[in-house]
Amino acid sequence: MGAASRITSGTNPQMIVDRLDELPTLPTIVYELSRVINDPMSSTGDVQKIMANDQSLTTKVLKLANSAYYAIPGGVSSLQRAIGYIGYDTIHQLVLSASIISALDAKSSADFDLTQFWKHAIGVAMAAETTARFVHYKTPSDLFTCGLVHDMG
């Protein structure tokens, strides 16, 4: 049963509104980054300026850029260069995913399996984005986001 179903089953509209505060909010960086990434005039420098203020995200991006998946000769030590190799869509997905994990982690409880929830959310997000690319949808990253948060209400 999805979060929306759990919130709405057997409740009145006011109870639904009252429970909306239980949904985690995303940090400002997610919104700023989305705005810059969706701006066709933006540069890797613009993305780097936003991300440079978050040490955790900077570390994650550099770690990803230096992973075996990208196999960049000599490695990458510059955030701006890492962004260039990884690409805007992957950066956006990484930031969004890390932010959601952080928000959910703060609200986790003993009866909630965050790992299982996260695996499911990522799987749906990847399937949604792949489908979007297959049908030539204009912004596949939007469907990644939708898939990622589909059970959150």
Identify which of 1, 49, 15 has the alpha carbon closest to the alpha carbon of residue 29: 49
Helices (H), the chain: 3-8, 13-19, 28-37, 44-51, 55-65, 79-86, 88-106, 114-134, 140-149
Q: What is the pLDDT of residue 131?
A: 92
Distance (Å, whole) CA 72 – CA 66:
7
Q: At what angle do helices 55-65 and 88-106 cross, to 10 degrees?
A: 130
Domain spans in the chain, listed from the N-terminal domain onward: 24-87
pTM exceeds 0.85, yes or no: no
Question: Residue 78 is encoded by which pair of tokens?
Answer: 């510059």
Per-residue confidence band for 20, with pLDDT thresholds at 50, 70 and 90: very low
Per-residue pLDDT of 47-72, as tens digits, reads 899 888 888 888 888 998 999 988 88
Contact between 103 and 52 (Cβ < 8 Å): no
